[in-house]
């Protein structure tokens, strides 16, 4: 008696006797694919994703066919596998969406900080341009280039006290003009 009649195929018989060959598996696939697609689509609401999940369910069934208990209906295995795969996909999607949102928020915050930094830098450059030329030159050499007062004094042929005076006046002007941005001044000048 053949178990492969034109009507219902007893897949459990094939699995129990390890006779589930490619042709029988293809018949199983054709019998349940459309129903599984509809079932999974109700979870994921994406036809291509549903197809992938159903294919994964069949692949898992095929890979584990020798370990499955033939007492339970194959259809139940397939629908359980498909449901679990769909739920795993949705969990993964939730994590990815959460990560994308976190990255987007970080990028927005970074862009705001960059915009703020650029505005402060422009303001600093404007205020530096307002300094008398000698004060600006001494400030740049000491703060930006990191030279000692004595080096700057020798280079510009002025006294160390004159260097100190230029630095003091330049910083007072910038402090008065920039107020809360003074810390940015030092950071920006170091980066120039």
Please give the mean pLDDT across all residues of the chain: 84
| C-alpha span between 88 and 44 (Å, rounded) | 10
Higher pLDDT, 32 or 12: 32
The dihedral sign for the CA sequence 67, 72, 75, 81: negative
Confidence band, pLDDT 50/70/90 cuts, at residue 3: very low
Over the stretch 73-114, which tens digit does the pLDDT of each residue have?
A: 888 889 999 999 999 999 999 999 888 988 899 889 989 988
- Judge contact between 58 and 82, C-beta under 8 A: no
Higher pLDDT, 12 or 29: 29
This prediction has a pTM of 0.54
Q: Using a CB cutoff of 8 Å and minimum separation of 24, what contacts does 110-117 make? A: 117/184
Q: Which of 40, 61, 59, 42 is nearest to 51 (CA)?
A: 40
Phi then psi for residue 92, to 5 deg, are -60, -45
The predicted structure's pLDDT at residue 187: 58
The predicted structure's pLDDT at residue 27: 87
Q: How many other CB atoms are found less than 10 A from the CB of residue 86?
A: 23
């Amino acid at each position: 008696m053949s178990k492969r009649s034109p009507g219902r195929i007893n897949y459990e018989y094939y699995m129990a006797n390890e006779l589930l060959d490619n042709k029988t598996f293809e018949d199983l696939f054709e019998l349940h694919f459309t129903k599984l697609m509809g079932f999974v689509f109700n979870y994921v609401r994406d036809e291509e994703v549903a197809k992938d999940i159903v294919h994964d369910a069949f692949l898992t069934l095929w890979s584990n066919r020798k370990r499955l208990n033939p007492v339970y209906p194959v259809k139940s295995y397939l629908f359980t596998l498909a449901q679990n795969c769909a739920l795993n996909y949705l969990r993964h999607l939730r994590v990815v969406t959460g990560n994308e949102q976190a990255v987007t928020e970080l990028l927005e915050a970074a862009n705001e900080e960059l915009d703020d930094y650029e505005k402060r830098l422009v303001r600093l450059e404007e205020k530096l341009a307002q300094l008398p030329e000698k004060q600006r030159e001494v400030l740049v050499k000491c703060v930006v280039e990191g030279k000692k007062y004595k080096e700057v004094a020798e280079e510009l042929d002025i006294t160390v006290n004159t260097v100190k005076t230029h630095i003091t006046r330049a910083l007072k002007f910038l402090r008065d003009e920039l107020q809360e941005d003074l810390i940015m001044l030092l950071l920006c000048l170091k980066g120039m």
